[in-house]
Amino acid sequence: MILTTGQPFWITERGLVRYPVLTEDVTCDVVIVGGGISGAMLGYYLTRAGLRAVVLEQRYVGAGSTSASTAMLQYELDENLVDLRKKVGVARANEAYLANLYGVHGVAHLCQHELPTDCGLRYCHSLYLASRPTDAAAVEEEGDARRGIGISNEFLPEAELLRRFQLKSPAALYSADTAEVNPYELTHTLLQQAQLAGLRVFERTEALRYEVNSGGKSVTLHTAGGHKVRAGHVVVCTGFAAADLVPRDIVNLHSTYVVLSRPGQADALPTGDAQLWETARPYIYTRRTPDGRIMIGGRDEVIKQSTFQNALLENKADKLEKQFQELFDQPIAFTRDFVWAGVYGETDDSLPYIGQHPDFPQVWFALGYGGNGTTYSLLAAEIIRDALTGRQHRYASTFGFER
């Protein structure tokens, strides 16, 4: 499955980082299938916990969906808290929002205090815009619900938005507890630090199937190259790219599109450091990069398979720029520099699946579906690390398959 098209900015900026191919049978405590941000988080956390871990990536590490991510670190989910409560219950919905709040600050702490580089991590704000006048009351209700569980935000009416940010929106929620990062750099920094502690990483190594060994306490994973990985556990974090290793019918595929300006153009934005997104579905979203580019994403659509066309990509970029300009009461300087598209998965309730599934013995899943992939990756790494080392994570039951 082709997961990206166009020219993802993160790889262009850093260059493709390479790892060896698996050329022999190996033994470990945990084999991690998937070399994106989730696999990197798991490799880092499991190795630091003293487990012998191996990461297998079918293509190139970090070059799939991770390279196309905008890496907007938000506690806010694609499903409003008010609406999520109706789907999964008040307790689980509240925990899901609090878990993502925890995840935002967890990624920030990782970048700012544990890793040798901050990976472009920067705290910022979020503006959640009402797309239509009829959405304003729902936005205000959403703000009340979030404050009710301790998440700070400010409701801004139309006149205040126009005065402070030159935005033409009926209302918005203005929040802190938001950040952004370079997902490709974070992926490789995590892996490189974990390699110093014994993690083994292999790319161009496709995992085909696994079998539970006699006694049910270990597994043998078979690769396309004919080699075997014997391990106590398998952790699958491939999203939807390894169909035989992932429970079926739990995710819908979407394509998302991104256009990026030239450096320095974000410095004149009247919204300052704030990320933008909106109540409309599908929505557009924006963030800045460390070199002052404006990143605009969205125009998402449900797809059956990841087939992209360059003509469609150009059309989507045009519409993204037009929608972005329509948010403001004055023209915003924007000169297109990069355009790309990526595939991501979304569940019916916008929550990931983290944990074990009864049909897959000795397998753990870290399927960070939805728009909060980076924070879900950190949560999955902590939850699975704790489970494999005999502890119980606070959010272990929040994202399980039993819901």
- In DSSP notation, 165-218 reads H-B--SEEEEEEEEEE--HHHHHHHHHHHHHHTT-EEE-S--EEEEEEPTTSS-
Res 189: pLDDT? 98
CATH topology of domain 123-177+251-346: D-Amino Acid Oxidase; Chain A, domain 2 (3.30.9)
d(CA 57, CA 204): 6
d(CA 202, CA 55): 6
Res 240: pLDDT? 54
Q: Are 276 and 266 in contact (CB under 8 A)?
A: no
To which residue do tokens 């035989």 refer?
244
Q: Which CATH class is domain 4-69+184-250+350-388?
A: alpha beta
Q: Is residue 243 classed exposed, middle or buried when 0-12, 13-18 and 19+ CB atoms within 10 A define those classes?
A: exposed
Res 343: pLDDT? 73
Res 208: pLDDT? 92
Q: Are 74 and 104 in contact (CB under 8 A)?
A: yes
Q: Is residue 129 classed exposed, middle or buried when 0-12, 13-18 and 19+ CB atoms within 10 A define those classes?
A: buried
To which residue do tokens 């539970």 refer?
212
Report pTM. Answer: 0.93
Question: Tokens in use for 281?
Answer: 């579905």
Q: How far is CA 228 from CA 25, 33, 207, 236, 254, in A?
A: 5, 13, 9, 16, 33
Question: What is the domain partition of the chain in residue ranges?
Answer: 4-69+184-250+350-388, 123-177+251-346
Q: What SS3 class is residue 144?
A: helix
Question: Tokens in use for 75?
Answer: 């506690």
- In DSSP notation, 279-343 reads SSSS--EEEE-TTS-EEEEEEEEE-SS----HHHHHHHHHHHHHHHHHTBSS-----EEEEEEEE
- Per-residue pLDDT tens, the chain, 403 aa: give them: 455 667 788 998 888 999 999 999 999 999 999 999 999 999 999 999 999 999 999 999 999 889 888 999 999 999 999 999 999 999 999 999 999 999 999 999 999 999 999 999 999 999 999 999 999 999 999 999 999 999 999 999 999 999 999 999 999 999 999 999 999 999 999 999 999 999 999 999 999 999 999 888 999 999 999 999 999 999 999 865 555 566 766 667 767 899 999 999 999 999 999 999 999 988 899 999 999 999 999 977 766 555 555 567 888 999 999 999 999 999 999 999 999 988 766 788 889 999 999 889 999 999 877 678 899 999 999 999 999 999 999 999 999 988 7
d(CA 322, CA 340): 17
Question: Tokens in use for 198?
Answer: 């014994």
Kindly give the residue spans of alpha helices, DSSP state H, lying in 20-157: 37-48, 65-68, 81-88, 90-109, 136-148
Q: Report pLDDT digits (tens) over 152-191.
A: 999 999 999 999 999 999 999 999 999 999 999 999 999 9
